[in-house]
Structure 1
Amino acid sequence: MGEAPEVQLQIIGQENRGANWAEETNNGGGGGGQSTTTTTQHRKSYKWWILMAIYTVFCLAGQTVATLLGRLYYDKGGNSKWMATLVQTSGFPVLIPFYYLVLFKKTTTNSVDHEQNDISSVRNDMKSPSLLVLTAVYVSLGILLAGDCLLYSLGLLYLPVSTYSLICASQLAFNAFFSFFLNSQKFTPFIINSLVLLTVSSALLVFQTDSSSGGSSTVSKSKYAIGFICTVAASAGYGLMLSLIQFCFQRVLKQQSFKIMLDMIIYTAVVATVIIVVGLFGSGEGENLGREMHRFELGKVSYVMVLVWIAISWQVFSIGSVGLIFEVSALFSNVISTVGLPIVPVLAVICFHDSMSGIKVISMVLAIWGFVSYVYQHYLDDREYKTPTQV
């Protein structure tokens, strides 16, 4: 069990020594090598923070836009729970051009760079899982994703938005639990403070009046109970899925590249989409989509455009969410998602003319505070990591 990490460390050490040697050679050797190495580390950290900002924007923007458009779909006459589920996963074709662009760049890079071929071949032989293992990973996560999306659709259909948002906030607690056991997540005072603030931030939304939060307040008690149970189950499933994705990156795939991240998003979405399409037509709802389109208050074109942009928005969210898992952790990705929960009611004031209450403002402030607390912990970790290297 202890030999594999040592081999990886030796390979990484060879790469680092080769990079440092090249830097020292380019600078004429001597004392300039240490200065160049420090500059490279700062540049890498700078690029990493920019990448984190991009993934965060993708995650928040995708989730917010998709949720608002999903509410618009229900408000204007849409009522198919399977269609609302399908658009959460079926937008993956928009990522295919980026996928082939990454493959093209990778091929070009490999044909030019010959110095790292030996090291890369050793690492690929050691880390690349078999096709059977990859298939099992993507199929398992795809099944979990399909079930999770269906549960979220049922919850949003039967619950007021305020109650729905409150229950969705529980996904942070579920994810923290799973991350502790699956990902060896460490909890510092700043991280705990962030989790508490973000949970309270979303919990405050339940004190809104249902009429201002947009949702069905006339559903029966049985449907309300179904929506409650489905949303809790979906939150637990989502927390588990994020932890499993991080586990697969670390223990199964054992590789770090944008292509690997796109593989995870696209193949998992393909499996989930196939399952949901079977459910759509198997349940008979597929036969009613034509009538639903005709009855949509904004018109047929708007009906199609709403669904298309929901699908695209969820894929933008997927890139941000999986990217944050890939670069940081599942818990951090869930923290960003939870930050977005209070954003939706605030933007609903502008888009749907909901009332702006003091509770929404307080919820937003607490969400931002919790987010800053978590980011500050990563800033401290980054400084702690750099200090012994620079000395």
Structure 2
Amino acid sequence: MSHDDSYILMDEMDPTPEESKNSSIKQTALQEFRTKQISHWILLVVSSISMLLGFPASSLLSRVYYNNGGKSKWIISWASSIGWLIPALILLPIYFFFHIKPTPLNWKLIVSYILLGFLNAIDSLMYAYAYSYLPASTASLLASSSLVFSVLFGYLLVNNKLNASILNAIVVITAAVVMIGLDSNSDRYGDITDREYIFGFMWDILGSILHGLIFAVSELVFIKLLDRKSFHVVLEQQVMVSLFTFLFSTLGVLMNDDFREMKSEAASFVGGMSSYLVVIAWSAVSCQLGVLGGTAVVFLSNTILAGVLNAVRVPITSIGAVMFLKDPMSGFKILSLFTTFWGFTSYIYGSSSISN
């Protein structure tokens, strides 16, 4: 072999900077996988699926409620909180069979649970307003902005790192939200006024801001107060936070005198009382499933992955809304959906680069 040939062979064998980076990312991911027990990955997969099933189902049911004659904003947001007994019924046998003692409560933990419960109650109410005025597909696309706020609050509260790819994702997803605003006349329901549509848009964005804040505060509680000791603390937090969410939502319903209106609302509901109760019940189950999955993902991973999965539910909800609720799918909305995918891809790439 000549001297020149050896240089050619060395050039062919030397990896490019991009190949080296990808190889390093793969090695880091493989090392991360090997350092965790298989039970960790099983729980993470189950929790992710719970998010991707629960949140879209809850969103679609909110729109079904309003499509079929529901009027109250407080009732449908209250319905999302009455499932707090579900994690409690899962937690109690764990205490008994695994001989686990409940985490001692202190004033910091109690204040954190009350704060998260209050934020969840307000968040549910904001989304109830959004879904009362907007088609489910539009509302879900706007809710993709929660990824942006998950990043920002994760950076401010939990010191999650940022890079150019993640900042690019923020810009791209913001552009996708703007596209929905530019296309406001194509998907508006006939009985919705300009003012109501703008309010729906505004409440959806504000709800997304709170959603991102809730993820970050939940992770902060796990890091600072619960030390990520064991998975049962996920259920403990969910029980306590959901209980306070239920109490705040119930107070809102009582102050608005909506419980008295439920009987007449159910009587005029499409399908009658039975259909009304089915929608309320499944709203409670699906929302609790999504929130429990999200809390578990934050515990098992971080706010970053929870934000990504929360955003991934956008196409699932949009497709479900088009298939089952006959939502319109305009050119702008399709472009916004593809732009959102672009933002997700940039965000995932940026996150993997940071982990490297």
Shorter-chain TM-score above 0.5? yes
Please give the alpha-carbon distance, in whole angstroms, between the structure 2 residues aligned to 1:259 and 1:278: 29
Closer/same/farther in 2, CA of residues 262 and 130 from structure 1, 3 Å limit: closer
Distance in 2 (CA, whole Å) between partners of 1:372 and 1:106 is 41
Taking structure 1 as the reference length, the TM-score comes to 0.73
CA shift, 1:208, in A, is: 5.6
Match of 1:188 among 163, 181, 188: 163
Q: Distance in 1 between matches of 2:112 and 2:175?
A: 34
Of 39-48 and 54-63, deviating more is: 39-48
Q: How far, CA to CA, are the matches of 1:226 and 1:350 in structure 2? A: 26
Partner of 1:175: 150
Contact 2:56 2:317 in 1 (8 A): yes
1:285 maps to 258
* SS of 1:285 mapped into structure 2: coil
Shift of 1:261: 0.5
Aligned length: 327
Does the 8 Å contact 1:162/1:210 carry over to 2? Answer: no
The 1:209/1:228 distance shift into structure 2, 3 A limit, reads closer
Question: Does the Cα contact within 8 Å between 2:219 and 2:298 map onto a contact in 1?
Answer: yes
Q: Following TM superposition, by how much is the alpha carbon of 1:57 offset from its aligned partner in structure 2, in angstroms?
A: 1.4
How far off its partner does 1:319 sit? 1.7
Larger displacement relative to structure 2 (356-365 or 244-253):
356-365
Provide closer, same or farther for how the CA distance between residues 168 and 217 of structure 1 changes in structure 2, counting only shifts above 3 A: farther
The amino acid across from 1:266 in the alignment is V
Measure the CA separation in 1 of the matches of 2:138 and 2:293: 26
Confirm or deny that 1:343 pairs with 2:316: yes
Distance 1:342 1:363, change over 3 A: farther
Decide whether aligned partners of structure 1 residues 203 and 88 sit closer, same or farther in structure 2, where only a CA change above 3 A counts. Answer: farther
Residues 299-320 of structure 1: per-residue CA shift (max 9 Å, x gap): 2111101110111001110121
In structure 1, which of residues 135, 153, 164 is the aligned counterpart of residue 110 of structure 2?
A: 135
- Asked whether the equivalents of residues 205 and 359 of structure 1 are also in contact (C-alpha less than 8 Å), the reply is yes
How high is the sequence identity, in percent, across the aligned residues? 27
Residue 79 (structure 1) aligns with = 71
Unaligned runs of 5+ in 2: 1-29
1:169 CA drift (Å): 2.8
Mark the CA change 1:291 to 1:263 in structure 2 (over 3 Å): closer, same or farther. same
Contact 2:179-2:332 at 8 Å conserved across structures: yes
Aligned to 2:46: 54
One-letter amino acid of the structure 1 residue matched with residue 114 of structure 2: V
Q: Partners in 1 of 2:205 and 2:31 — Cα distance?
A: 47
Counterparts in 2 of 1:361 and 1:340: CA distance versus 1, 3 Å? same
Report SS of the residue matched to 2:98: helix
SS, match of residue 260 in structure 2: helix
Q: 1:298 aligns with which of 257, 268, 271?
A: 271
AA in 2 matched with 1:279: G
Give, in angstroms, the shift of residue 87 of structure 1. 1.5
Look up the match of 2:127: 152
Contact 1:162 1:205 in 2 (8 A): no
- Aligned pairs (5 A) from 1:1-391: 42=34, 44=36, 47-107=39-99, 130-161=105-136, 164-196=139-171, 198-200=173-175, 204-206=179-181, 213=187, 216-356=189-329, 363-364=336-337, 367=340, 370-371=343-344, 374-375=347-348
More displaced 10-residue stretch of structure 1: 265-274 or 45-54: 45-54
- How far off its partner does 1:161 sit? 4.3
How many angstroms does 1:255 deviate by? 3.0
Could you tell me whether the CA contact under 8 Å between 2:63 and 2:136 is conserved in 1? no
Equivalent residue, structure 2, for 1:119: none
How many Å separate the matches in 1 of 2:39 and 2:343?
24
Comparing 290-299 and 246-255, the one that deviates more: 246-255
Shift of 1:201: 5.3
8 Å CA contact retained: 1:129, 1:253: no
| SS of structure 1 residue aligned to 2:229 | coil
Q: Secondary structure at the match of 1:107?
A: coil
Flag the 1:329–1:203 CA change in 2: closer, same or farther, 3 A: farther
Contact in 1 for aligned 2:113/2:240 (Cα 8 Å): yes
CA RMSD of aligned residues (A): 3.1
Query: Measured at CA, do residues 41 and 62 of structure 1 come closer, stay the same or move farther in structure 2, by a change above 3 Å?
Result: closer
Counterpart CA distance in 2 for 1:157 and 1:355 is 16
Letter in 2 for 1:91: G
* Match of residue 3 from structure 1: none
Distance in 1 between residues matched to 2:32 and 2:308, nearest whole Å: 30
Residues 63-72 or 172-181, more deviating: 172-181
Please give the TM-score of this superposition, normalised by the length of structure 2: 0.79
For 2:167 and 2:219, how far apart are their aligned partners in 1? 20
Asked if the contact 2:137/2:317 (under 8 Å) is kept, the reply is: no
Q: How far apart, in 1, do the equivalents of 2:262 and 2:114 lie? A: 28
Call closer, same or farther: CA 1:264–1:217 in 2, change over 3 Å.
farther
The change in CA–CA distance for 1:362 and 1:105 in structure 2 (over 3 A counts) is farther
Q: Is contact 2:266-2:272 (8 Å) kept?
A: yes
The residue type paired with residue 234 of structure 1 is G
